Structure 1
Amino acid sequence: MSEEVFKKLAEVQRKLSKRVVEKPLDISKIRTVGAVDVSYRGELARAAFVLCSFPGCELLKKRVVEVEVRFPYVSTFFFLRETRPALVAIGRKKPDVLLVEGHGKAHPRGYGLASHVGLVLGIPTVGIAKRPLRGAPEGSWVKIGRAYVSVGHLVDLPSAVEIVKALSRDGYPLPLTIADRLSKGRLNGHLEE
């Protein structure tokens, strides 16, 4: 893809970032938390979605799918590669809050994978990453254990932090740890349960 195409895509990200809504969540009303993660094997993306109770982290549902990769890995344009596999894995089940393995507003253009998935689904999303992106706005993330937490959509940063703290085990949110292991084939997850 040409540099001109990436410039246009970057502009689209900036425009979409203006549609991201930050607002406090009433944590007492959260009953379910979903988590989605995507791993790759050649030209296949293996996406895993888990649905857990909140705050107890009881596993309620898991789903693993494999889909063909349609976009190459390009730093800061991750949403173009991972949105489709993530959405296929999530299916029709919409949790009260969704944890996405990827940045939200902690992105150089203020619009990462977590923001995009949240905007597409119209649900509160929290971005969780293992490292910050260079050029992310100051104050756009908080580190909790090994997780860099940011606003995805329909949540503010204090609410996102509270949710992640409640779900963290061994320095990382347990639902995402399970989704990560499923996506990498480290847990049995062939079927929707």
Structure 2
Amino acid sequence: MWYVWDLSILLGALSIAIMLILILRRVLQERRGTANADQRRQLLTALIAFTENRDREALKAAILAVPAGVAINAGFEFLSLLRGAEHDDVLAAFKECGMPARVGRQLERGNVAERIHAAEMLAALDSEDASARLLSALAEDRSREVRIAAAIALSDLGSLPLLDFVLDNIGVAGQRSRRVIELFRRFPRTRFNELAVHA
């Protein structure tokens, strides 16, 4: 009889402890989300100010002041809006802050969505080792979608390997994908003869 009461008290205490842990986790997630939004806003403000005053040191300080994930996401979004000299100057500031290395680590260690985003960002940053990292992702990544994103990024950089190698690694046999269609749309015109072999 006492065993049943002891067990029910133990289960009740355990459920209360689990509930408190879940509440604490939720509060921490909300605070982290708020902090990330504030940091993102600060970085975007610094990026906008840079387009007006060209103070590269202030921009680099703002980039280094936020976590890598926030800098990568906000920076890539902002870079997609810029053209010409402004785009090149912001890109140079990101390179000087070591963003290609951070993005490369994200390509290796992030979740699938982060790795896809990192492949796109590496193509935008166009660093010295971008092609090597993207080739490694194309050949070795466990996710087909990441391999496709790496192939698209390599095509954007003008470093796409032979089509046979690409197709062997992304495994397109019998599968349809909008991303694969995007890869073929970005395929270099000078290499269309490779497509004819696979038509």
Q: Which structure would you say has the larger RCO, counting Cα contacts within 8 Å and 6 or more residues apart?
A: 1
TM tier relative to shorter chain: under 0.3
Structure number with greater Rg is 2
